[in-house]
């Protein structure tokens, strides 16, 4: 046939609107005229004539279109016959109207013709738009959401079909077969078009199915043709993927490739699951029954629940059943419940996550889990054992099982893993950490000096079965040394050393402290020189001097223990009254030293006692050579020749800076004074 | 609309009865009024979801979060961001083309040379994900397949306080609500007996004199004071003033609170200030915390192998490790937001020695926390975030020697990691250039991270707003885009 004529055939879908429009308008006018007689009969005559004329042209064009061979006779048969009949009918009505025979008969005919014309249009529409066109939109398939939750999917059925239906089938179907190609069934796709197969397994270069969409859009073979909805990059990727993987219609593929998953995700965005809203009455009842509920999101009515009580009785389970269509997650860990709960469990048709840890669940209860779409379950701390897990491993939906009360035995674990795709969480292996060292015991003592005896305690810190062994003679404690139990009572001056021990742990470092039994307390004291603040040089206000007699010894780092020390930047002279009449052997000064900070130990000490003649007499003196080490804490012992005198006087001189010390070379000379830091005086 | 609702529900039944003194008719009217106010329009979400905004907007992947904030700005170059070029070009000045005249802090702006400094610590790849981790993090390197590293973090602030404030509140200036407060406001609490936002602090042992942290970092800003973070201390009294004074029994306390609540109710009816109701609620919470806090803070019931896993530090209260165990315990008790701060990551000088100590403080416990959450099934619903407020420079601050150097603040690049609910495991996102100085791929701004974390909690960060002083505020201000590529 002539190209021009066949080209004209394409105007059929446009021209066909003329007869339909004009005929219906004329029908309207004729109807009004039938009742009111106020419209010009001439216009009705003209309308009918025009309708007939345009109907004839439409029919001819339609026939030409059919003859081009794009459409099968079978599929357009009804439309073709109806079209011709309608055209003739319009002509008949036109004739009848001109003769003005019977208005009633005319109106009946007219009505019939409108029905015929509508039918023609409908069947014509099916040819171009497909049979599904007028179907009410279907609800979104829930499977589409689950697509990405699957481990594997039938790529053709679940993905490729969706793409082809949307983008190819509108022009390649049972009724319309551009290029002789139909793509609405598997067979049709396999059969290919007039130029042969459209795909070759594993060859995306050769396959037209994958090649044509990638051609430039202005290329004449580009598919879908320009103006039609195009394939997206993801769709192209997925069709390529299908062809590359053998273009199989049946096989399932494993969802493992990230690129595949990524493209699927974009193409099938996850829609939120939703459910019908529950009754508020039921919800309020559940809250009263100690369930803590939460709605998953604004867009859904799915609910997560946690039972907050200790005992979940039958009525609570019944209350929960009221939201069985909404409940997606349930936490009944540490809860006591009856078997009844498990018997009803299969009713929860949406339940995906179940927390059962530390509950009374047993192996035989697990069968009740099979009816529900459970993906996640925590069974830690229950009686469930390997047998139970084996049973559960055939659950169709389960993905994660927590059972951390079970130590993972390699053998049994393999058995489980090979039989299912479930991820198991057992008790952690011990190989994560090496042996850890215990913390040393922490001493809880205020004082290091005592008169008769002193109780020493260790603060208990959070590890069970931690044993503390100690010695009082200065030797290193081991696991055979005395065991600490609640307290240690010390009666004599001693050096306490203690360590923590525990099986499976490395023993701790040593904690040590020295305790001194002194002869007597001090009743009163009087300082002739004043203590000053180390940091700003101001005179100590208030009664800080007791620090020397408070029975507690500071540690080496006097900055962190500043409150235990009494600092002096001059010679120290003071007198004391002893509480009891007793004979002392020696006097001990406890002092810190830190040469960089300007804190120096005593150089010489003189001790006087007031005898019966009320005069102070020298009863002991000692000079200490300067220590080499820079930072230390030391006891300086001065033996005395004491005869029960109660009133003593001490004169202590400290060391000045050695010549090399940077502070001496300081131009301002503001900081060239040394300090004596003393924290305790011991009367032994 | 909300404000009208609040107004109407404030005029409640009791108010109505008292003020009008109606009899039975009054009761009827009162209940009618109440229904008009809120009763009829009540939806499922109104009843069940506890946040002021009744969120989430969409289904959440994460329900809880543990944010392990590494305060001070940990050096990415010694921990996670492996840069062999810095070792190769050690001592050479950083090229002008790389640092591009970026502003420096006062510490280094007067420095004549900016010599590149490579890490003195060795790096290796670990796990199936082949993630680079330095030898300072031997335990974290065992769990890399659970982590999602973001190597392309960047921020706007260059000094500690504004940078931390920016991370925690979305603004460099103090005064906005903190992250945890926003969450509490939007989503509400998951439990009744503990605050929904709890803060635990620890100090780096190698750098105990680090910058202090301010309690406003967990403040509620302009949000209701119910949403402020509560700091739990180590030691005998985790929450100050929680204990009953000597001689006061729990029953006495109950009676006292009841009377006090009555007085507060009267006051509220007179003035209608919502903070009065908040105060009542806080008193009640404190009362419940008298029993819930000692229970959760007592780690003596932790089994041996758990303590061992977190390391022996976990036995000393107030350490990072012990706080990590507490964090897990709080998460088990359905606390929404647990924020840990570990200070001392500010290595301007003496970096190799100090960072070694810092890493030792946190490495084992951080890894153990992730493992522990995972084995308990908690990692499926809990997000763990680990990172500081900014990174450190690839050049040395101060003199560079073979075994000693320092690094200055660097807001342009740093590394963080996340793990758990909704985040891709075993992933590294973003890239920095060979000098680690600029981002070359997939930058993640602080606001982006905030938006992403909110997304994991089912929150649209653009919709979670609070109207204050005439405009709506957001955690992400007017910025932030969700990094979808790291979401699973």
For A454-479, how does the pLDDT look when each residue is reduced to its tens digit (9 = 90+)? 999 988 655 677 889 999 998 999 98
| Record: contact A278-B56, CB cut-off 8 A | no
pLDDT value, residue A382: 94
CA distance A40 to A431: 102
pLDDT category of residue A540 using cuts at 50, 70 and 90: confident
Across the interface, which of A272, A294, A428 has its CB nearest the CB of B309? A428
Distance from the A472 Cα atom to the nearest Cα atom in chain B, whole angstroms: 25
- B188 φψ region: left (φ > 0), alpha (ψ -120 to 50), beta (else): left
In this prediction, residues B209-213 reach a mean pLDDT of 85
Query: What residues have CB less than 8 Å from A130, skipping those under 6 apart?
Result: A169, A170, A173, A175
Whether B54 shows a pLDDT value over 80: the answer reads yes
- Count of Cβ atoms closer than 10 Å to residue A501 Cβ: 19
Sole residue written with tokens 């289904």: B59
Point out which residues pair with B202 in neighbouring strands: B342
A511 touches chain B (CB under 8 A): no
| Record: contact A432-B298, CB cut-off 8 A | no
CA distance A397 to A419: 14
In this prediction, residues A198-212 reach a mean pLDDT of 87
| Record: contact B305-A428, CB cut-off 8 A | yes
Instruction: Report the complex ipTM.
Output: 0.87
Q: Which residues of A touch B234 (CB under 8 A)?
A: none
Helix (H, G, I), strand (E, B) or coil at A351: coil
In this prediction, residues B431-436 reach a mean pLDDT of 95
Indicate the pTM of the whole model: 0.72
Distance from the B395 Cα atom to the nearest Cα atom in chain A, whole angstroms: 33
CA distance A52 to A89: 9
B317 touches chain A (CB under 8 A): yes
Sole residue written with tokens 């940990």: B74
Across the interface, which of A295, A428, A464 has its CB nearest the CB of B48? A295
> How many CA atoms lie less than 13 Å away from A550 in the CB half-sphere?
18
pLDDT value, residue A199: 87
Best residue in A278, A334, A432, A464 to probe B by mutation, most B CBs within 10 Å? Answer: A432
Whether B420 shows a pLDDT value over 60: the answer reads yes
Distance from the B468 Cα atom to the nearest Cα atom in chain A, whole angstroms: 24
B311 touches chain A (CB under 8 A): yes
How buried is residue A483: exposed, middle or buried, by Cβ count under 10 Å (0-12/13-18/19+)? exposed
How buried is residue A560: exposed, middle or buried, by Cβ count under 10 Å (0-12/13-18/19+)? exposed
Across the interface, which of A376, A432, A504 has its CB nearest the CB of B380? A376
- How far, in Å, are A378, A393, A440 from residue A413 at the CA level? 17, 12, 39
Which helix or strand (DSSP H or E) is residue A116 part of?
helix A103-129
| Record: contact B377-A400, CB cut-off 8 A | yes
| Record: contact A298-B57, CB cut-off 8 A | yes
Distance from the A295 Cα atom to the nearest Cα atom in chain B, whole angstroms: 6
| Record: contact A284-B316, CB cut-off 8 A | no
- Residue with more model confidence, A579 or B257: B257
Q: Locate the chain B residue with the closest alpha carbon to A502.
A: B304
Q: Which residues of A touch B235 (CB under 8 A)?
A: none
Whether A333 shows a pLDDT value over 90: the answer reads yes
Whether A270 shows a pLDDT value over 80: the answer reads no
What the block records as the tokens of B456 is: 């994991």
What the block records as the tokens of A399 is: 């993905």
Least confidently predicted of A498-512, A545-559, B260-274: A545-559
pLDDT category of residue B156 using cuts at 50, 70 and 90: very high
Contact between A306 and A291 under an 8 Å Cβ cutoff? The reply is yes
pLDDT category of residue B13 using cuts at 50, 70 and 90: very low
pLDDT one-digit tens code per residue, A8-32: 888 888 888 999 999 989 888 888 8
Euclidean distance between the first and final Cα of chain B, in Å? Answer: 37
| Record: contact A402-B48, CB cut-off 8 A | no
In this prediction, residues A236-253 reach a mean pLDDT of 85
Least confidently predicted of A44-48, A128-132, B270-274, B442-446: A128-132
| Record: contact B309-A432, CB cut-off 8 A | yes
Least Cα distance to B340 among B357, B324, B361 occurs for B324
Q: Locate the chain B residue with the closest alpha carbon to A149.
A: B488
Least Cα distance to B153 among B74, B65, B67, B90 occurs for B74
- Count of Cβ atoms closer than 10 Å to residue B237 Cβ: 14
Least Cα distance to A62 among A9, A131, A137 occurs for A9
- Residue with more model confidence, A78 or B2: A78
CA distance A302 to A272: 10
| Record: contact A464-B300, CB cut-off 8 A | yes
| Record: contact B48-A462, CB cut-off 8 A | no
pLDDT value, residue B123: 96
pLDDT value, residue B435: 94
Q: Which residues of A touch B334 (CB under 8 A)?
A: 306
Whether B28 shows a pLDDT value over 60: the answer reads no
| Record: contact A355-B377, CB cut-off 8 A | yes
- Count of Cβ atoms closer than 10 Å to residue A353 Cβ: 19
pLDDT value, residue B376: 93
Whether B5 shows a pLDDT value over 80: the answer reads no
Least Cα distance to A208 among A219, A221, A218 occurs for A221
Segment 401-440 of chain B within 8 Å of chain A by CB: none
A300 touches chain B (CB under 8 A): yes
Size of interface A-B (CB pairs under 8 A): 111
> How many CA atoms lie less than 13 Å away from A270 in the CB half-sphere?
15
What the block records as the tokens of A54 is: 């345009």
Helix (H, G, I), strand (E, B) or coil at A636: strand
Q: Locate the chain A residue with the closest alpha carbon to B458.
A: A297
pLDDT value, residue B6: 59
pLDDT value, residue B257: 95
| Record: contact A402-B377, CB cut-off 8 A | yes
B54 touches chain A (CB under 8 A): yes
| Record: contact A283-B44, CB cut-off 8 A | yes
What percent of the residues of chain A are helix, what percent strand, and what percent coil, each to the nearest 5? Answer: 35, 25, 40
pLDDT value, residue B23: 44
Across the interface, which of A280, A298, A427 has its CB nearest the CB of B47? A280
pLDDT value, residue A413: 63
- Residue with more model confidence, A197 or B119: B119
In this prediction, residues B445-464 reach a mean pLDDT of 96
**Rg of chain A (C-alpha set):** 51
Contact between B415 and B406 under an 8 Å Cβ cutoff? The reply is no
pLDDT value, residue A140: 47
In this prediction, residues B134-158 reach a mean pLDDT of 96
Query: What residues have CB less than 8 Å from A416, skipping those under 6 apart?
Result: A386, A389, A390, A393, A422, A424
Query: What residues have CB less than 8 Å from A644, skipping those under 6 apart?
Result: A581, A582, A583
Contact between A293 and A304 under an 8 Å Cβ cutoff? The reply is yes
pLDDT category of residue A142 using cuts at 50, 70 and 90: very low
Q: Which residues of A touch B41 (CB under 8 A)?
A: none
pLDDT one-digit tens code per residue, A30-67: 888 877 777 777 888 888 899 999 999 999 998 888 88
Q: Which residues of B touch A301 (CB under 8 A)?
A: 44
Least Cα distance to A366 among A347, A330, A393 occurs for A393
Contact between A24 and A50 under an 8 Å Cβ cutoff? The reply is no
Contact between B390 and B103 under an 8 Å Cβ cutoff? The reply is no
Across the interface, which of B60, B190, B375 has its CB nearest the CB of A404? B375
Alpha helical stretches, state H, B272-315:
274-297, 304-310
In this prediction, residues A532-561 reach a mean pLDDT of 82
Across the interface, which of A272, A284, A404 has its CB nearest the CB of B58? A272
A261 touches chain B (CB under 8 A): no
Whether A104 shows a pLDDT value over 80: the answer reads no
A145 touches chain B (CB under 8 A): no
pLDDT category of residue A146 using cuts at 50, 70 and 90: low
pLDDT category of residue A106 using cuts at 50, 70 and 90: confident
CA distance A663 to A672: 5
| Record: contact B44-A505, CB cut-off 8 A | no
| Record: contact B377-A465, CB cut-off 8 A | no
pLDDT value, residue B38: 43
Q: How many helices (DSSP H) and strands (DSSP E) are in chain A?
A: 18, 28
Contact between A631 and A558 under an 8 Å Cβ cutoff? The reply is no
Distance from the B315 Cα atom to the nearest Cα atom in chain A, whole angstroms: 6
Segment 104-133 of chain A within 8 Å of chain B by CB: none
pLDDT value, residue A442: 85
Distance of CA A433 to the CA centre of its chain: 25
Whether A625 shows a pLDDT value over 70: the answer reads yes
Whole-number mean pLDDT of chain A? 85
Q: Locate the chain B residue with the closest alpha carbon to A406.
A: B375
| Record: contact B56-A297, CB cut-off 8 A | yes
A303 touches chain B (CB under 8 A): yes
Q: Which residues of B touch A306 (CB under 8 A)?
A: 334
pLDDT value, residue B17: 45
Out of A458-462, B98-102, B121-125, give the one with best mean pLDDT.
Answer: B121-125
Least Cα distance to B473 among B284, B156, B221 occurs for B221
Q: Which residues of A touch B315 (CB under 8 A)?
A: 438-439, 461-463
pLDDT value, residue B26: 43
- How far, in Å, are A295, A304, A371, B127, B378 from residue A350 at the CA level? 14, 11, 10, 36, 21
Least confidently predicted of A41-45, A499-503, B200-204: A41-45
Whole-number mean pLDDT of chain B? 89
Across the interface, which of A273, A277, A463 has its CB nearest the CB of B315? A463
pLDDT one-digit tens code per residue, A354-379: 999 999 999 999 999 998 999 999 99
Least confidently predicted of A335-339, A505-509, A541-545, A549-553: A541-545
| Record: contact B375-A425, CB cut-off 8 A | yes
| Record: contact A432-B377, CB cut-off 8 A | no
């Amino acid at each position: 046939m002539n190209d021009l004529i066949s080209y004209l055939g394409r105007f059929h879908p446009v021209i066909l609107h003329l007869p339909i429009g004009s005929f219906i308008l004329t029908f309207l006018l004729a109807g009004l005229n039938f009742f009111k007689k106020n419209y010009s009969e001439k216009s009705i005559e003209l309308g009918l004539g025009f309708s007939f004329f345009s109907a004839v042209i439409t029919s001819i064009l339609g026939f030409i279109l059919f003859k081009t061979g794009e459409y099968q006779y079978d599929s357009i048969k009804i439309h073709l016959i109806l079209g011709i009949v309608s055209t003739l009918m319009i002509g008949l009505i036109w004739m009848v109207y001109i003769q003005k025979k019977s208005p009633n008969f005319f109106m009946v005919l007219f009505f019939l013709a409108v029905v015929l014309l509508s039918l023609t249009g409908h069947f014509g529409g099916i040819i171009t738009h497909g049979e599904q066109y007028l179907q009410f939109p279907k609800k979104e398939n829930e499977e589409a959401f689950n697509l990405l939750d699957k481990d594997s999917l039938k790529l053709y059925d679940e993905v490729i079909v969706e793409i082809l239906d949307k983008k190819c089938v509108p022009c390649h179907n049972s009724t319309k077969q551009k290029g002789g190609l139909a793509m609405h069934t598997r067979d049709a796709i396999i059969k290919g078009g007039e130029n042969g197969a459209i795909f070759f397994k594993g060859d995306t270069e050769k396959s037209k199915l994958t090649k044509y969409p990638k051609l430039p859009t202005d290329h004449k073979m580009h598919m879908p043709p320009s103006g039609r909805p195009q394939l997206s990059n993801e769709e192209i990727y997925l069709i390529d993927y299908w062809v590359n993987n053998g273009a199989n219609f049946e096989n399932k593929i494993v969802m493992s490739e990230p690129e595949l998953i990524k493209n699927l995700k974009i193409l099938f965005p996850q829609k939120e699951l939703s459910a019908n809203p529950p009754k508020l009455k039921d919800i309020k009842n559940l809250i009263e029954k100690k369930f803590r509920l939460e709605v998953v999101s604004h867009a859904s009515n799915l609910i997560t629940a946690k039972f907050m009580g200790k005992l979940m009785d039958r009525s609570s389970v019944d209350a929960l059943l009221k939201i069985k269509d909404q409940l997606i997650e349930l936490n009944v860990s540490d809860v006591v419940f009856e078997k009844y709960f498990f018997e009803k469990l299969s009713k929860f048709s949406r339940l995906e996550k179940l927390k059962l840890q530390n509950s009374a669940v047993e192996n035989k209860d697990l069968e009740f889990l099979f009816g529900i779409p459970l993906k996640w379950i925590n069974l830690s701390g229950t009686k469930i054992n390997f047998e139970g897990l084996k049973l559960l491993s055939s659950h169709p939906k389960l993905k994660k099982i927590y059972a951390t009360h079970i130590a993972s035995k390699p053998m049994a674990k393999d058995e489980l893993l090979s039989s299912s795709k479930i991820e198991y969480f057992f008790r952690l292996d011990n190989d994560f950490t090496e042996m850890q060292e215990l913390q040393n015991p922490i001493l809880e003592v205020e004082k290091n000096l005592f008169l008769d005896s002193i109780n020493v305690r260790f603060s208990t810190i959070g590890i069970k079965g931690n044993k503390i062994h100690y010695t009082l003679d200065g030797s290193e404690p081991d696991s055979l040394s005395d065991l600490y139990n609640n307290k240690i009572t010390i009666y004599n001056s001693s050096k306490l050393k203690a360590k923590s021990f525990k099986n499976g742990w490395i023993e701790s470092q040593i904690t040590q402290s020295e305790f001194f039994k002194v002869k007597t307390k001090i009743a009163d004291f009087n300082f002739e020189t004043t203590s000053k603040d180390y940091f700003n040089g101001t005179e100590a206000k208030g009664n800080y001097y007791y620090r020397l007699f408070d029975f507690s010894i500071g540690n080496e780092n006097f900055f962190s223990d500043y409150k235990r020390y009494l600092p002096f930047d001059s010679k120290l002279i003071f007198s004391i009254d002893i509480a009891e009449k007793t004979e002392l052997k020696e006097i001990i000064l406890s002092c810190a030293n830190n040469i960089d900070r300007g804190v120096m130990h005593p150089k010489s000490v003189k001790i006087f006692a007031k005898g019966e003649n009320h005069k102070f007499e020298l009863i002991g003196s000692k000079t200490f050579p300067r220590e080499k080490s820079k930072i230390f804490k030391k006891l300086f012992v001065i033996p005395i020749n004491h005869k029960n005198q109660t009133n003593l006087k001490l004169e202590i001189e400290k060391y000045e800076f050695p010549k090399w010390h940077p502070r001496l070379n300081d131009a301002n000379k503001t900081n060239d004074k040394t300090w004596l830091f003393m924290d305790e005086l011991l009367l032994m | 609309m909300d404000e009208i609702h609040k107004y109407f529900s404030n005029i409640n039944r009791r108010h109505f009865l008292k003020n009008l003194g109606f009899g039975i008719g009054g009761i009827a009217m009162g209940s009618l009024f109440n229904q008009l106010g809120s009763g009829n329009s009540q939806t499922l979400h109104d009843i069940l979801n506890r946040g002021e905004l009744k969120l989430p907007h969409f289904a959440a992947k994460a329900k809880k979060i543990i944010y392990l904030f590494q305060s001070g700005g940990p050096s990415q170059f010694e921990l996670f961001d492996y840069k062999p070029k810095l070792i190769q070009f050690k001592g050479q000045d950083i090229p002008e083309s790389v640092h591009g005249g970026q502003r420096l802090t006062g510490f280094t702006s007067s420095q004549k040379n900016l010599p590149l400094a490579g890490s003195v610590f060795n790096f290796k790849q670990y796990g199936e994900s082949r993630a680079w981790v330095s030898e300072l993090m031997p335990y974290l390197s065992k769990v890399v397949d659970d982590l999602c590293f973001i190597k392309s973090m960047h921020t706007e602030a260059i000094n500690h306080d504004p940078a931390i404030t920016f991370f925690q509140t979305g603004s460099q200036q103090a005064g906005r609500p903190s992250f945890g407060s926003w969450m509490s406001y939007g989503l509400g609490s998951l439990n009744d007996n503990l605050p929904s936002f709890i803060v635990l602090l620890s100090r780096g042992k190698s750098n105990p004199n680090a910058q202090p942290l301010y309690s406003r970092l967990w403040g509620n800003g302009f949000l209701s004071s119910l949403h402020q973070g509560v700091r739990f201390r180590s030691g005998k009294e985790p929450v100050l003033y929680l204990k009953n004074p000597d001689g006061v029994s729990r029953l006495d306390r109950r009676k006292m609170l009841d009377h006090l609540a009555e007085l507060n109710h009267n006051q509220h009816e007179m003035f209608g200030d919502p903070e009065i109701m908040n105060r009542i609620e806080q008193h009640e919470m404190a009362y419940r915390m008298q029993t819930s806090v000692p229970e959760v803070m007592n780690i003596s019931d932790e089994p041996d192998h758990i303590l061992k896993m977190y390391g022996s530090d976990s036995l000393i209260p107030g350490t990072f490790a012990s706080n990590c165990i507490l964090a897990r315990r709080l998460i088990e008790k359905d606390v929404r937001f647990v924020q840990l701060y570990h200070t001392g990551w500010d290595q301007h000088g003496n970096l190799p020695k100090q960072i070694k100590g810092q890493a030792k403080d946190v490495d084992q416990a951080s890894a153990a926390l992730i493992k522990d959450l995972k084995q308990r099934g908690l990692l499926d619903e809990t997000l763990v975030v680990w990172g500081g407020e900014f990174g450190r420079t690839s050049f040395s601050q101060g003199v560079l020697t073979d075994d000693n150097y320092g690094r200055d603040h660097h807001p342009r690049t740093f590394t963080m990691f996340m793990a758990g609910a909704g985040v891709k495991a075993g992933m590294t996102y973003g890239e920095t250039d060979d000098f680690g100085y600029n981002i070359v791929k997939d930058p993640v701004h602080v606001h982006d991270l905030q938006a992403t974390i909110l997304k994991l909690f089912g929150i649209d960060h653009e919709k979670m707003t609070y109207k204050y002083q005439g405009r709506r505020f957001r955690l992400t201000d007017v910025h932030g885009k969700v990094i979808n590529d790291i979401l699973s």
